[in-house]
Amino acid sequence: MGRTPCCDKNGLKKGPWTQEEDLKLTNYIQVHGPGNWRTLPRNAGLQRCGKSCRLRWTNYLRPDIKRGRFSFEEEETIIQLHSVLGNKWSVIAGRLPGRTDNEIKNYWNTHIRKRLLRNGIDPVTHAPRLDFLELSSILGLTLCSQSVVNASNLLGAQTFLNPQLLSLANTILSLKQENPESVLQYLNQNQLCTTSAVPCTSTMINQTGLMQEGFSSDMTNLSYPNSQENLTSSTLTNAFIGQPNTTVPVLSETPNMQYSLDGNQNYSFDSVRSTPTSSPTPLHSSSTYMNRCSTDDDIESFSSLFKFEIPEGLDIHDFM
């Protein structure tokens, strides 16, 4: 009953393929076609498992494989499809002629995923992340409220806060409780307070009633009722983003911030797209987002992240 095992792993070669092996496999498949991977290695004179041969052929030797950098259009397509399909690399590959699932998977993990993270997009949900705003909120409350914020509130957020940033928040909180002036010293020493945007003063930190009166509900603009100065969220986020070796933390998702699909089948991140433009920090300034983009590619991709079109003829329902 059943079939014989696909291959006996004993004595079979593993690791990188040699030119000679590639040649043997290619020649054999050109003559006999790619079927029956179990018997293929023996027939082709290869000391390899059939699985290994299939992988080598489909991911590397196949003549229709496109090599080289992914084009902008390909990248867009991958992002679109991934937002709908998730990690269905083979299905995504089916929409990108000449690209293999392995190649797309690698490209996603090494390029696109990092880029999305860097730009504040959750690569799993494709929803904008409010990490910085949430942290700003926590710190804002910590620094500016007269009521003592219980450290457990911060610790409770530990499951989704970047440990580095949480540690920073805790440090500032404890300093504040000991001596508000030491907070200023700490912020200035660590360049966490951008004096050009808003000077940190003890008056500001100790200002009364800010929590009740001062903060706008969306936390994008933390205004001081008795001051001309506005402590913006970008001021705080700048402080963190500007720190070398500060990684982008993963916080909670925002369910109300998702793609919207307009009549022209344009996906857009409404919430996030509006944030940079309405923010005091311009999109193309060197702060906030753009200072994380090290290459032209990053910049180009960043701008495209917030609006892209689904190619004509691409029916999402095909994949469902």
The residue written with tokens 């808003």 in the block is 198
Tokens linked to 151: 């450290």
**What residues numbered 194-233 form the site for DNA, per CB under 7 A?**
none
Interaction of residue 15 with DNA, rule CB under 7 A: yes
User: What's the min distance (Å) between Cβ of 135 and DNA?
Assistant: 23
**What residues numbered 59-118 form the site for DNA, per CB under 7 A?**
59-60, 87-91, 101-103, 105-107, 109-111, 114
CA distance 279 to 276: 5
Count the neighbouring beta carbons within 10 Å of the beta carbon of residue 262.
10
| Sole binder of DNA in the list 51, 62, 273, 292 (CB under 7 A) | 51
Of 253, 277, 269, the residue nearest 307 (C-alpha): 269
The one-letter amino acid code at 124 reads V
Nearer to DNA, 131 or 298 (CB): 298
User: What's the min distance (Å) between Cβ of 34 and DNA?
Assistant: 8
Part in contact with DNA (CB under 7 A); list of ranges 8-16, 148-156, 191-199, 202-210: 8-16
| Sole binder of DNA in the list 54, 82, 99, 118 (CB under 7 A) | 54
Nearer to DNA, 3 or 317 (CB): 3
**What residues numbered 228-267 form the site for DNA, per CB under 7 A?**
none
Tell me, by CB under 7 A, how many residues bind DNA: 39
Part in contact with DNA (CB under 7 A); list of ranges 35-43, 129-137, 190-198, 209-217: 35-43
Part in contact with DNA (CB under 7 A); list of ranges 32-40, 187-195, 215-223, 285-293: 32-40
Binding stretches for DNA (CB under 7 A): 1-7, 13-17, 35-38, 50-52, 54-56, 59-60, 87-91, 101-103, 105-107, 109-111, 114
